[in-house]
Each structure stands twice: as C-alpha cells, then as structure tokens.
Amino acid sequence: MGKSRRTGRRLALTTAAIGLALNGVGAMSTQGASAAANGPCDIYAAGGTPCVAAHSTTRALYGAYNGPLYQVRRSSDNHTTNVGVLSAGGTANAAAQDSFCAGTTCLITTIYDQSGRGNHLTQAPPGGFPGPAPGGYDNLANATAAPTTVGGRKAYGVFVAPGTGYRDNHTSGIARGDQPEGMYAIFDGTHSNSGCCFDYGNAETTSHDDGNGTMEAIYFGKIKVWGYGSGNGPWIMADLENGLFSGVNQHYNANDPTISHRYLTAIVKGGPNLWAIRGGNAQSGGVSTFYSGKRPNVAGYNPMRKQGAIILGIGGDNSHGAAGTFYEGVMTTGYPSDATENAVQANIVAAGYR
C-alpha cells in the first residue's frame, strides 16, 4: 500500500471517529434513559482500534449495548442479581440495585465486559502479594459506596478501599508481548492514596511479578517509590511492572502534572518502542498529552512482554494497598490516534458525570 493511500485512510478514520463523537454529543446531552447514538467503543472502532474489553457500572459503552453492566450480591441471603441499562446505549438501572439491596448491604461481584469477548472482572485471586482475606482472595467493593449521576440519572461507581481488587487472568483479544493497545478509565480524582497500586489495564496472567515489561496499566495515585510527576500528586502514570513511569525517565518527569478533577479521564497507550500518557477533566474540555515517545531506557521495557490479564484496583502481583474509584474503562487492540481519543473524551463529557 502506497504512502498516499495510507494517509488517506488515516484521515478517513479520524474523520469517522470525530463524526461519531459529535453524534454521541448530540444524543447524550438529552439522553438520561434514552439510547446514545454512539458510545466510546463505537468511536474506537471507527478509528480502527476496536475495544477488546469494556467495563462500566454506570453506562453502556456501545450505542447498541443492552446487556448487564455488573452483578451484585446481597448479604442477607447471598442472592445475586444483574444490573443492566435503562435502554440500549443508556445509563445504569440503579433503581434495580436499590430495590434488590433494600434493607441490607450488597457487594459488586462481577463487572461485565461489554465487548462480547467475555473479559469479565471478578474477585481477584491470591497473587505474589498476600491477600487480606482467608484464602488470599481480595475483597469486593460495596455496591453503594460511590454514588454518582450520569446524564441526570443515578448510578454507582466501584469504590476501591485498600484490600479490594478485581481481575481476569483468562482473557480474549488483550495485547500480549509488544502488541499495541490503548486504554482509558474514568476515576474519582479526589479519591486516592500512596499505596500500591490502583491500576486498570494489562497485567500478568500468573498474578505474580514476572519482571519488567510484563504489565501495561493505568495507575492513579500519590505513590513516589518508583516514579512521580510535578507537585504533590496524584498523578496518572503507567504501571509497566517494577516501575510506575510518569515519562521516559525512571523516576521524576516534570511534564506529568498533579491532576485531581472530581471526574478524571486517564489514558495510557503503548506499542513497539512507543507509549503515551494523556489526561483531562471528564466533565469539560479535552485531554492533554503528558508524555508521548519512546519506551524507558531501562532493561526489560523494550520490547514489552505483556501477558494480557486485566486488573482493577490492584497491582500485577495483587498488591492491594491502594484506594480509588472507578466508573468506566476500556482496552483496545491497536494504538489509538490522539484524534480518536479526543472524540472519546467529547463523548465522556457529553455523558454528563455529576
């Protein structure tokens, strides 16, 4: 394929992604319970980097998605129920959870993968770092600890207290080795600590530390042991195993700012000798690039040795000392363009987290 044809294809994909985002903005600004024209994963697909995992307890991430978002278990009788959307492409049916959990407490047992690949997140098993519960399994999140609204509709996020964690070690389609991938997550930028490690993304399938480059996940928090940015934190960084990287340097990188929006968009993406950190306010504006360039000049990170598990709230070896709140996130195959991510950010802003 010639250079001019490749350039034309990239421009066409970028235009399609931006067009989808504008569609989504128009639909979601009046959405509430009604369907969105397009979700973030429709935009990624139009950009040529489709989602291979899509997790949210607050809304559908595809315009046509009409399945379950998550499952809760109530303490009174250990029964479970799935919480879905109010309509295809819409927000969570929080009233169903409230009715099911009335008079008792509920835990989030499963966060379903909307991509159709079955990459569901469940209670994290024991790992190289000992777990807090008998048998070493991590705790599950209280289903009502992170209330929010999306498009004017009530929803619940995933409140990760230290000791809480979710994982899938048997995934489909997630990047392995040095394969390119992208990911974003919406976090509560006011809820973090300096424990290790509040992550979402690609990790070891063994639940152990398998060495440099065996992870590629979004980290959010204030820990400074391995890496940090400007100010006092928290920072968006990349957990690449045995290193939290705020840029190309192993420790301090001034261009990675302290960022603490109430609703925060955090992005990490990586490919062969290339990766980036981006972030912004999930309620307004765009996303900024804090780093984009070559892999760290440290043995083991180029090429990468990603294994393809998915984690939430923990490190690759099941380190579970961190705190944070998760609302939605996806992982893609392929390295998304900035234009595609900008279009996804427009969709997130239009969703109306409050």
Could you report the per-residue pLDDT of 312-324, keeping only the tens digit for each?
Answer: 999 999 999 999 9
Rounded CA-CA distance 83/99 in Å is: 11
Reference 188, options 248, 246, 131, 260; nearest CA is: 260
Nearest C-alpha neighbor of 316 from the set 248, 244, 256: 244
Residues 218 and 238: beta-carbon distance below 8 Å: yes
- Give 146-163 pLDDT, tens digit per residue: 999 999 999 999 999 999
* Angstrom distance (rounded) from CA 325 to CA 261: 12
Q: Choose among 52, 32, 317: nearest CA to 173.
A: 52
Query: At residue 302, does pLDDT exceed 70?
Result: yes
Range in 25-34, 83-92, 219-228, 237-246 the model is least confident about: 25-34
pLDDT for 132: 63
The single residue of 42, 188, 199, 317 carrying the catalytic annotation is: 317
Average pLDDT, the chain: 91
Q: Which of 138, 241, 328, 341 is catalytic?
A: 241
The residue ranking higher by pLDDT, 26 or 145, is 145
Does residue 201 register a pLDDT over 60?
Answer: yes
Residue-level pLDDT at 143: 98
Q: Tens of pLDDT along 26-40? A: 444 333 333 447 999
Of 36-45, 239-248, 328-337, the least confident? 36-45
Q: What is the pLDDT of residue 241?
A: 98
Q: What is the pTM of this model?
A: 0.91
Does the annotation mark 256 as catalytic?
A: no
Tell me the residue type at 35: A
| Mean pLDDT to the nearest integer, 69-95 | 98
Mean pLDDT of 276-292: 98
Specify the residue for token string 């504008």: 22
Reported as a pLDDT band with limits 50, 70 and 90, residue 133 is low
Q: What is the pLDDT of residues 85-122, one digit of tens each?
A: 999 999 999 999 999 999 999 999 999 999 999 999 99
Ramachandran region, residue 177 (left: φ > 0; alpha: ψ -120 to 50; beta: rest): left
What pLDDT is recorded for position 312? 98
The two structure tokens encoding residue 22: 């504008």
Please tell me the predicted confidence (pLDDT) of residue 22.
Answer: 44
341 is catalytic: no
User: What confidence tier does 229 reach under pLDDT thresholds 50, 70, 90?
Assistant: very high
Helix segments in the chain, DSSP class H:
3-28, 40-46, 94-100, 338-351
Side chain identity at residue 68, one-letter code: P
Contact by Cβ (8 Å): 186, 263: yes
DSSP three-state, residue 177: strand
| Matching residue, tokens 């009604």 | 34
Mean pLDDT of 295-316: 97
Residue 176 near residue 308, CB atoms below 8 Å: yes
Asked if the model's pLDDT at residue 19 lies above 70, the reply is: no
**How high is the pLDDT of residue 130?**
76
Q: What is the mean pLDDT of residues 38-62?
A: 98
Q: What is the model's pLDDT at position 135?
A: 62
Residue 203, pLDDT score: 98
Distances (CA, A) of 189 to 68, 193, 237, 325, 337: 26, 11, 13, 8, 24
- Asked whether the beta carbons of 132 and 139 are under 8 A apart, the reply is yes
pLDDT of residue 161: 98
Asked whether the beta carbons of 141 and 107 are under 8 A apart, the reply is yes
Average pLDDT on 251-275 reads 98
